[in-house]
Amino acid sequence: MNIEKARFNMVEQQVKPWNVNDERLLGAMASLPREQFVPEAHRNLAYADTAIPLCHNQAMLAPRELARMIQALELKGDERVLEIGCGTGYASVLLSKLAKKVYSVDIIAELVSQAREQVTRLALNNVSIEEVDAADGWVTQAPYDAILITSVIPRLTDSMKNSLSASGRIVTILGSPEEQYVNLCKPDKNGNWEYEQLFPVQAKPMINAEQPNQFVF
């Protein structure tokens, strides 16, 4: 595989056609070697338009899906960002190129270790990786100007909402195992929350997230 060509094609043929036009984000994706964040067994899929399996039944989103989610945060460069679910650190590093400070958390120790190795390898001083159960949010470094959640949750919790700055926004996947949508969520000037569905997706549920009541027959 020609890695450089594959990365170029990912950006030009997958990401850009999906209405991703943030030049800083596109530049970060074009320069960051995604194959280094992918498990060795699936490295041939690093630039494919597909989700990639990770340990503990987790997965990396397809590049175009992640790109659309990050773009929806509308980062300008001076924000404090919380990422719930760091995975192997790919999104964490992309966010570090777009924001002032990134706090990235995950409940899986193995993934936290991998993400920390990437941050150290790249000598990033604006990314903090923590092993935390953030199914109800993570208020330790709040308030955040933006929150990215790349796993499925049934709803935003009060803790997640209250950890956001007044002008901030949350991009997350809301729904059930059967039906999921990426949503842009933010409070209006009266403090009422607005939800904008961006696109359907199929992702893994957040570990320990509250599950909606279901009928049992």
Strands (E), the chain: 52-53, 59-60, 80-84, 101-106, 127-131, 144-153, 164-175, 180-187, 193-200
Strand partners, 106: 131
Helical pair 63-72 and 23-31, crossing angle rounded to 10 deg: 140
Query: What is residue 217's predicted lDDT score, i.e. its pLDDT?
Result: 31
Contact yes or no for 58/139 (Cβ under 8 A): no
pTM of the predicted model as reported, rounded to 2 decimal places: 0.95
Between the CA of residue 5 and those of 9, 17, 23, 63, what are the distances in Å?
6, 17, 19, 15
What are the tokens at 44? 């041939």
Of 89, 79, 85, 124, nearest to 105 by C-alpha is: 85
pLDDT, position 149: 98
Judge contact between 76 and 139, C-beta under 8 A: no
Question: Does residue 143 have a cis bond before it (omega within 30 degrees)?
Answer: yes
Helix (H) or strand (E) holding 147: strand 144-153
Distances (CA, A) of 87 to 8, 39, 94, 107, 150: 23, 11, 13, 10, 9
Q: What is residue 124's DSSP assignment?
A: -
- CA neighbor of 108 nearest in space, from 141, 130, 124: 130
Q: What pLDDT score does 96 carry?
A: 98
In this predicted structure, what is the pLDDT of residue 214?
Answer: 46
Is 182 in a helix, a strand, or coil? strand
List the CATH code of the domain at 3-200: 3.40.50.150
- Give the integer Cα–Cα distance in Å for 166 and 201: 28
pLDDT, mean of each 10-residue run, the chain (217 residues): 94 98 98 97 96 96 98 98 98 98 98 98 98 96 98 96 96 94 95 96 91 45
What's the pLDDT score for residue 177?
A: 84
- Any idea of the CA torsion for 96, 101, 106, 108, to the nearest 10 degrees? 60
Residue 73 has what pLDDT?
98
Instruction: State both tokens at 63.
Output: 């590049």
